[in-house]
Chains A and B, each alone.
Chain A
Amino acid sequence: MTFIDTWYNNFSPKLQAIACHFGYIKQEAEDIVQSFFLDLLQKNIAIEEIKNHEAYVVTAFKRKLIDLHRAQKRKGSIEEIESFYIPSAQEIIEELERNQELVSRIAQAYKKLPARFRRVIYMKYYQGYSTEKIVTQTGLSPQTVYNNLSKGIQHLRQHLRNEPLVSKLASFLFSFLP
């Protein structure tokens, strides 16, 4: 299996979704992604020089969308495609490593939560427990655990939104949704 196969398996759903984001219907999006990977097969890619595979593939795909646009099959404006940015998991972590301000904002929002919400959030995201495991650990009912988690996350997002936002935080955490 070549690395292109691996890319295809890992990233094609995301690329199709990006194409749909710019107005192509599902079938068109599938075709575009297929032909995109066929193009890649023709290219001589120096795989060992690519540090972040996901970011590389997404960027190359954006170029493909721009090419299509230029070829009069226009969907989405060129500027829109250019500025469209979905960070890969690796880029998200790198941003968090760089941006202490951002991390402490999230920590502050977390600290404002009532203890019952913090407890289940801590267990899920720090200790990595499944919801069932939290149920057995705490003795709470499954519904209570679910509600606490769900409410906790809602409140957390609310706190983050209401903060006098540092622009970086805003653009990072809420780059797409209103």
Chain B
Amino acid sequence: MTYTLDELVINDSFIAYCTAQNEQDVQFWNDYLREHPRELITMEEAKKLVLSLRFMLQQKQNELSAEDYSTEHMLYVADGRTNITPALPDKSTMYRLKRKTIAAAAILLLAIGASFIYFFTRESKVQPGLDPGETHTTVFSEKILSRAGQRKTIVLADGTRVTLNAASTLSLEEGYGTANRNVYLAGEAFFDVAHNKTLPFIVHVAKYKVKAVGTKFNVKAYANDEYSETSLLEGKVQILIDKGEHNVLYKTLEVNQKFVLHRQETVTHKVDDDLAIVPLSFGDTSENIETAWMNDHLIFDDLPLSEIKNILERKYGVRINILNNTVAQCHYSASFQDESIGAILKALQLSYPFSYKINGTTITIDK
């Protein structure tokens, strides 16, 4: 018995074969082809259609998800996904709202149920989360957290290796590894992405996305840092900027380059973020500064104390208050390995003096 083109396109096992996601499915369809060599052309046509459909939906969804009130958005969003519609609550919207509430409740219930399973099986939780700038709810299947002073290495289902720096959160979208490779990062992580061109790996951080196929790169996007950075060590990644209605391809990074986004928001007014591509920095021992944290190296390359404060807080799980603004703006260059926080502060004092008091986990710095 052979399959028609239409049957192949909607066959789950065949779809898995097209994206090379499952060893058994690949084996099955290779055997099928060996048995029925005349089906080659039909299979190839079906494969093109499967890959094209997936590609188109992924691209259009990415473009549209940034649009707040797009009616077009509805075209792609299946019922049951929440959507914000700015309209007066007439009868029909009331009905829709109700349906939305039910849908949201269902998602929450699912999440709670799932979190129970995860709670007992591994150190991770499940919960629905909202990505800033997206109107639909992204359902996460897994959430990995690292506390201050902690570092974690995990291998994801597709073989991608992630090292999470201190005080960071990585969430995987539902269907990770089979339907998508979308991850959401708050904090810093190093990614060694398993190669799979049919399923791009996308890191979502505030204001932009990093799209990769198979490569090594570091993303630093802490909510309390002024700068958000993506550094490329190997391969290629694309930087997609969230721009109102679309994702705009900003640049494709070359090896040893980094993308830097300088947050320009102030309380009173909002200006455009400052974007730049700069070369990676290397220390004296030709060690790469952006990824030195992986080896427990702390390298400050002409950083103001106000930024060093954030790094130390995460690494040592302390709170640092800088009372004097001049001190906060002083720049330091230094490198440390396996030093206590006291030793680091003492060393920094040598190049530009300040005073500090340690009280439990709180450190106060003054002139």
Contacts and interface: CB of A to CB of B under 8 A. Distances in A.
A86 B40 CA distance: 10
Contact of A17 (B26, B39, B51, B57): B39
Among the interface residues B19, B37, B58, B174, which one has the most CB atoms of the partner chain A within 10 A?
Answer: B37
Contacts of B9: 153
B45 A177 contact: yes
A90 interface: yes
Contacts of A10: 26, 30
A170 to B, nearest CB: 12
Nearest to A118: B75
Contact of B53 (A16, A106, A130): A106
B80 A126 contact: no
Tell me the interface secondary structure of chain B in the complex.
helix
A40 interface: no
Contacts of B7: 150
B154 to A, nearest CB: 21
Given A20-B40, A128-B175, A150-B6, A93 B55 contact: yes
Nearest to B58: A126
A41 interface: no
Interface in B40-74: 40-42, 44-45, 47-61
B51 A93 contact: yes
A122 B6 contact: no
Given A21-B40, A96-B52, A177-B45, A128 B178 contact: yes
B10 A92 contact: no
A122 B57 contact: yes
A116 to B, nearest CB: 10
A140 to B, nearest CB: 11
A123 interface: yes
A106 B57 CA distance: 9
A146 B6 CA distance: 11
Contacts of A173: 45, 48-49, 52
Contact of A16 (B34, B48, B52): B34
Contacts of A20: 37-38, 40
Interface residues of A, number: 53
A150 to B, nearest CB: 6
A33 to B, nearest CB: 10
Among the interface residues A89, A106, A107, A146, which one has the most CB atoms of the partner chain B within 10 A?
Answer: A89
Nearest to A137: B80
Given A93-B197, A96-B52, A173-B48, A130 B37 contact: no
Given A103-B59, A177-B45, A149 B10 contact: yes
A150 B53 contact: no
Contacts of A125: 15, 50, 53-54, 57
B78 interface: yes
Contact of B20 (A89, A119, A137): A89
Interface in A52-108: 86-87, 89-90, 92-94, 96, 102-103, 106-107
Contact of A126 (B19, B34, B42, B54): B54
A106 B60 CA distance: 11
5 contacts: A89-B51, A89-B198, A121-B53, A137-B80, A146-B10
Given A92-B51, A110-B53, A154-B6, 15 more contacts: A16-B37, A92-B52, A118-B75, A119-B79, A123-B78, A125-B54, A126-B57, A129-B175, A129-B179, A130-B12, A131-B12, A146-B10, A149-B10, A172-B48, A173-B52
